[in-house]
């Protein structure tokens, strides 16, 4: 769902055409330039090829961002000052500012969306600062209605749709997480990567996506079993994949489409290694799926 770019000191806001391959593109209508400026996409498909050039124009968001997440109705950004701002529709409390009444916005959040209805009165095109108890380090979101933020103190906070189906309209701290360096949201569940390379997950667990060997939901984070030394982590809708320091790739959770890459279509309640064994960094696919790259040694 999300793309990441790092900002530089160049703050060009003029409308112009830029060469391909220089931008991080969101699936749902936003583009984050390397200088941290957020722009909307004009007439682009969901995937921009290396041959395509990009027509950009600045929207209402004037502050520079280091990271950006978006879905069909809402977007959030991590600023260079380590704060989080959200804008768009407040459905499920995704703006993170409480159940407040906002003015109508009536603007396009994506290339195929119609303006929101005036009677909704729950949207804004002005970024709203999310009240967090500390400086943010990392931002993530699933393609539906959940946002996660990792703070610099190692805690993780999330809001939007919760595991029990209720909505959290302001950030809630995740119990059991105190040393996170990043986090990744799935659909009503999430996982955090700790400083030591351990992974903890919490939330819905119907398909074993928490990786703790069970299918019981968990309000507090618990360790993923049989996994250590993780360097990268990505959650899909109901599965998770992780890369270890020795470049092995492991996945767990829902596997109805073979998204775990273990040669089966069976759900896994604990990590299994992707086959053939991953010896290089994965290519991340849609919704956090990992596609092993051919290193020339696979038979």
Domain locations in the chain as residue ranges: 1-45+56-131, 135-299
CA-CA distances (angstroms) from residue 137 to 63, 83, 177? Answer: 17, 9, 14
Q: What are the backbone angles phi and psi of residue 119, rounded to the nearest 5°?
A: -75, -10
Among 11, 97, 108, which Cα is nearest to 59's? 108
pLDDT at 275: 81
pLDDT over threshold 90, residue 181:
yes
Question: What is the pLDDT averaged over residues 41-52?
Answer: 35
Residue that wins the pLDDT comparison between 221 and 3: 221
- pLDDT of residue 298 exceeding 70, the answer is no
Quick count: other Cβ atoms within 10 Å of Cβ 299?
3
Average pLDDT over residues 262-282: 80
What's the mean pLDDT in 236-247? 95
DSSP alpha helices (H): ranges in the chain? none
* Residue among 227, 235, 229 nearest 284 (CA): 235
At residue 202, the pLDDT reads 98
Instruction: Please say whether the structural domain 135-299 has been given the CATH code 3.40.720.10.
Output: no
Mean pLDDT for the chain overall: 75
Q: What is the mean pLDDT of residues 222-244?
A: 96
Could you tell me the pLDDT band of residue 8, with boundaries at 50, 70 and 90? very low
What is the spatial distance between Cα 194 and Cα 100, in angstroms, rounded to a whole number?
34
Residue 229 has a pLDDT of 97
In this predicted structure, which of 130-134, 151-155, 200-204, 295-299 has the lowest mean pLDDT?
295-299
Q: Measure the CA–CA gap between 265 and 268, rounded to whole angstroms.
A: 9
DSSP 225: T
CA distance 40 to 59: 6
Tokens standing for residue 263 = 């040669």
The token pair at 81 is 């000052």
Given a cut of 80, whether residue 256 has pLDDT beyond it is yes
Which range, of 39-53, 152-166, 179-193, averages the lowest pLDDT?
A: 39-53
What pLDDT shows up at residue 157?
98
């Amino acid at each position: 769902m999300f793309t990441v770019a790092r900002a530089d000191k160049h703050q060009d806001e003029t409308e112009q055409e830029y060469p391909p391959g220089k931008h991080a593109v969101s699936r749902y209508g936003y583009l984050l330039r390397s200088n941290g400026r957020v722009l909307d996409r004009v007439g682009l498909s969901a995937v921009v090829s290396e041959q395509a050039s990009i027509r950009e124009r600045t929207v209402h968001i004037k502050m520079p961002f280091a990271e950006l997440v978006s879905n069909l109705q809402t977007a959030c950004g991590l600023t260079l000052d380590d704060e989080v701002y959200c804008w768009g529709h407040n459905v499920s409390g995704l703006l993170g500012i409480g159940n407040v009444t906002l003015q109508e916005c009536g603007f396009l959040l994506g290339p195929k969306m119609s303006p929101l209805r005036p009677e909704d009165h729950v949207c804004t095109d002005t970024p709203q600062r999310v009240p967090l108890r500390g400086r943010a380090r990392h931002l993530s979101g699933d393609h539906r209605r959940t946002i996660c933020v990792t703070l610099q103190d190692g805690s993780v906070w999330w809001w939007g749709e919760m595991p029990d189906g209720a909505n959290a309209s302001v950030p809630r701290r995740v119990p059991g997480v105190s040393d996170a360096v990043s986090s990744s949201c799935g659909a009503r569940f999430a996982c955090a990567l700790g400083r030591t390379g351990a992974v903890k997950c919490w939330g819905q667990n119907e398909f074993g996506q928490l990786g703790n060997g069970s299918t019981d939901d968990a309000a507090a984070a618990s360790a993923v079993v049989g996994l250590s030394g993780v360097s990268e982590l990505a959650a899909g809708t109901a599965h998770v994949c992780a890369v270890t320091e020795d470049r092995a790739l492991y996945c767990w959770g829902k596997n109805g489409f073979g998204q775990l890459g273990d040669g089966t279509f069976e759900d896994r309640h604990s990590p299994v290694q992707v086959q053939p064994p991953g010896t290089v960094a994965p290519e991340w696919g849609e919704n956090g799926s990992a596609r092993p790259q051919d290193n020339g040694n696979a038979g």
